[in-house]
Amino acid sequence: MSFFKRYQTIITALILLFISVVVFTLTLKSPKSEMVIFRKIVLETIAPVEGAINAAFEYVGGLWERYIFLVGLEKENRELTSRLSALKEELNSYREINLEYERLRKYIGLEKDIDYPTIAAKVVGRNRPSVFKTILINRGTKDGVSIDCPVVAAEGIAGRVIEVSWNVSKVLLLVDYNSNIDALIQRSRVQGILQGDREGECDLKYVERSEEVKVGDVVVSSGLAGIFPKGLLLGRVRNVQKEKSGLFQRIKVSTEVDVTKLEEMLVILKEKGGSG
């Protein structure tokens, strides 16, 4: 039923054409007087048939033209969608380049403040499942990197190198429990050891109870152990507790560097007096 409805015009035209052909055939076998009458009948019959046939062909032709138009439109749409996707990727690439430029620009002043040669590095891996908080950077012995080279971000100290290969180094982050950095409070010059805790922060240890420490105090490297240059930013005091018993205060320090977002950094090489 649906087939007949779909092709109703064409089927009707074919039926009428068949009738006209039959009628025309009969006229050929009829006498001349009757032939005139039949021809009139044929003409009367053929006219609507031709009209129906023409309408059918126009309808089919219109369908075909619309189909061709839709096919072309679909192709154009695919091309525009592909071009739009490429433009979005290009725009995103430019944004990434701009963000990287803004991050790297912060290191220009930092290099001038460090009296050691430095080399820029990028993070190429993170050891997330491990209990150790470490990252991998794309610099190694061929770049002059060696064990215990300090690694700094624009905001301050990020950690130190603990393993080196030719092109890659492993960095122990300052928030790792195994990290210990000689530090001092910038305001009061009180000294201690900054040790990573198990929660992504640090403890300033071995500060006597009698020393004055305030929330918000800036903590910097002391330079005493010979690994980190003196005066590099480590963090700020977040909490201070003086227990009733014991020799030392419990001091929590929030690091300035967000180690979870590190992408670029500077490695401080050991030969003094050079320039990055």
So what's the pLDDT on residue 73?
74
So what's the pLDDT on residue 194?
96
116 pLDDT band, cuts 50/70/90, is confident
CATH number given to 118-268: 2.40.10.350
pLDDT digits (tens, 9 = 90+) for 34-78: 556 656 665 666 666 666 666 666 666 677 777 777 777 777 777
In angstroms, rounded to a whole number, what is the distance separating the alpha carbons of residues 247 and 121? 41
Flag whether pLDDT at 182 surpasses 50.
yes
Across the chain, what does the average pLDDT equal? 79
Query: Which of the two residues, 128 and 167, has the higher pLDDT score?
Result: 167
pTM: 0.62
Q: Give residue limits of the domains in the chain.
A: 2-69, 118-268
Provide DSSP, 70-95: HHHHHHHHHHHHHHHHHHHHHHHHHH
In percent, how much of the chain has pLDDT > 70? 65
Both tokens assigned to 120: 């820029």
In angstroms, rounded to a whole number, what is the distance separating the alpha carbons of residues 185 and 191? 6
Give the dihedral sign, CA 150/155/158/161. negative
Count of other CB atoms within 10 angstroms of residue 176 = 23
**Mean per-residue pLDDT for 249-255?**
94
pLDDT digits (tens, 9 = 90+) for 154-177: 888 999 999 999 999 999 999 999
So what's the pLDDT on residue 273?
39
Q: Which of 2-6, 131-135, 169-173, 205-209 has the lowest mean pLDDT?
A: 2-6
275 pLDDT band, cuts 50/70/90, is very low
So what's the pLDDT on residue 221?
93
259 pLDDT band, cuts 50/70/90, is confident
Give the dihedral sign, CA 50/56/62/64. negative
The contacts of residue 119 (CB under 8 Å, 6+ apart) are 139, 143, 144, 145, 266, 267, 269, 276
CB 268 within 8 A of CB 152: yes
Flag whether pLDDT at 21 surpasses 80.
no
Which amino acid makes up residue 23? V
Spell out the alpha helix ranges (H) of the chain.
2-6, 8-28, 32-113
260-274 exposure pattern, b = at least 16 Cβ within 10 A, e = fewer: eebebbbbbbeeeee
pLDDT digits (tens, 9 = 90+) for 24-34: 565 555 555 55
So what's the pLDDT on residue 111?
62
